[in-house]
Amino acid sequence: MEPSEAWGVRWEMAASPMAKRYMKVATAKQSLVCLAADRHTMAGLFDLIEAVGPHVAALKTHVDLVDDWTPEAWSRFCKVAHEANLLIFEDRKFADIGKISRSQMAGIYDIRSWSDLVTAHLISGPDIVDGLQASWTDVGRSGGVLLLAQMSSRGNLLHPAYTAEVVGKGTAHPGVFGFIGNGSRPKELQELRIAVGEEKMIWTPGVNLAVGDGEMGQRYGDPTEAVLAGSDCIIVGSGIHKASDPRASAKAYADASWNGLLQRNR
Ligand code: S5P
C-alpha cells in the first residue's frame, strides 16, 4: 500500500519531510509503533532492537538511563537502528531557555548528532524550539521537535488552557514535528486532534493492550482506540520490552495500530 492511501489527509497536509519519512516507514512496516526502549544496559538495548526492529517504526530512547553507556557503544546502537529503518527519538523533555537547550543537545551525549526527534516542554516559551533547531543546524543535520501538549501520568499539570497554548504556538512553527498527546484518554485525544488540525503529528504514550493503571501513576489506554482518536504513533514501552516474547508483542501492537489507521481512513 502507498503511504498516501494509508494516511489520507495526513499525508497530503504534512509539511515536514520528517513526518513524511515516518509515514513511509510506518507504511512499509505496517506499524505505527514507537518502541520506548527503556532498558538499562547496552546489551539489553541491542537484544531488544534485534527482536522487534521489523515491527516498529521508531525508537524512543532515554539516553541518560543507560548504566554502561559509552559513546562507541551508542554509535553502534544508532547504526543498528538505522539499518533496521527506525527513526531515533530522544525523549529528553527539554524545558530550559533556548540557548541552554541548544547546548544541552551537545555535551557528553551529543544528542543533536544522532537524534531525528526530541521532546520538549514549552513551559519556558517558544524560543526553546529555535534553540533545538539551531543545535541540529550546528552539526549539519535536521530534526523535529515533539512538544508535550498532554501527558499520560495522573495528576499532571498540563491543563486544557496550557495545552491550547502549546498547540497554538506549535502548529505555527515549522520546527515542530508534532505533539505528545495522552494515549490513555481517547476523548482528550480527540479534542487534541481537533485543535491541532491535520498538518502535525500526534504521538501518544500511555498505551497498552492491558488497559488500566500502570506503575507510579502511569495510565494506559487501548492502542487501536488511540489511533482512531487521532494518534499517528503509539509509544509503547513495557508492553513490549517487559513482555516474555517482545517480538510477538511488538507484532501485536503493530497490528492493533495499523488496523486502527486503516479503519480511521475508511
Ligand atoms: O506523558 C508521557 C510522555 C512520555 S514521552 N508519558 C509517558 O509515559 N512518556 C514516555 O513513554 C515515558 O518516558 C516512557 O518512556 C514511555 C512509556 O512507557 P510504558 O512502559 O509506560 O509504556
Residue 263 CA to ligand 1 center (angstroms) comes to 25
Domains assigned to the chain: 3-264 (3.20.20.70)
Q: Is the CB of 231 under 6 A from ligand 1?
A: no
DSSP string, 33-69: EEEE---SSHHHHHHHHHHHGGG-SEEEE-GGG-TT-
Element spanning 231, H or E: none
Confirm whether 93 is a catalytic residue.
Answer: yes
Give Dmax (Cα) for the chain: 47
Q: Is the CB of 119 under 6 A from ligand 1?
A: yes
Positive or negative, the CA dihedral 152, 156, 160, 165 is negative
Going residue by residue through the chain, which has 266 residues, state the pLDDT in tens, using 9 for 90 and above: 999 999 999 999 998 999 999 999 999 999 999 999 999 999 999 999 999 999 999 999 999 999 999 999 999 999 999 999 999 999 999 999 999 999 999 999 999 999 999 999 999 999 999 999 999 999 999 999 999 999 999 999 999 999 999 999 999 999 999 999 999 999 999 999 999 999 999 999 999 999 999 999 999 999 999 999 999 999 999 999 999 999 999 999 999 999 999 999 88
